[in-house]
Amino acid sequence: MARNSAYYSLGKVKSLVKSGNCSINSKARVTARNDFGWDFSDITNAILKLQHSHYYKTEKKYDDPSVFVDYYRANNLMGENVYIHFRVENDCLVICSFKEI
């Protein structure tokens, strides 16, 4: 299900990061480290720099169609071209993928 705008507001996403309500799955951590040399704080700083223009699409989560996942493609985000997707569950931002475009 593609949409014209993100399911989760960037304001809410950034607020969750700032309040520490953010989880990064192990695959996203490994690819961020391997692709960019980034750690948890680099990833969260990059999320805080996302813009509406970076939004790519929204889809339902493959194993739970009641949950939506927002996808972003950001060129030159902190000097890197980054592909990110995340969802919000139980008032926590869950970063599922974080890798080089």
As a whole number of angstroms, the distance between CA 77 and CA 51 comes to: 10
pLDDT digits (tens, 9 = 90+) for 8-28: 999 999 999 999 999 999 999
pLDDT value for 4: 74
Strand 92-100 with 64-77, pairing: unpaired
- What H or E segment, with its residue span, contains residue 73? strand 64-77
pTM of the model: 0.93
Of 2-6, 13-17, 20-24, 96-100, least confident by mean pLDDT is 2-6
What's the confidence (pLDDT) of residue 2? 54
CB-CB contact of 46 with 88 (8 Å): no
Share of the chain above pLDDT 70, in %: 97
Judged by DSSP in three states, 56 sits in strand
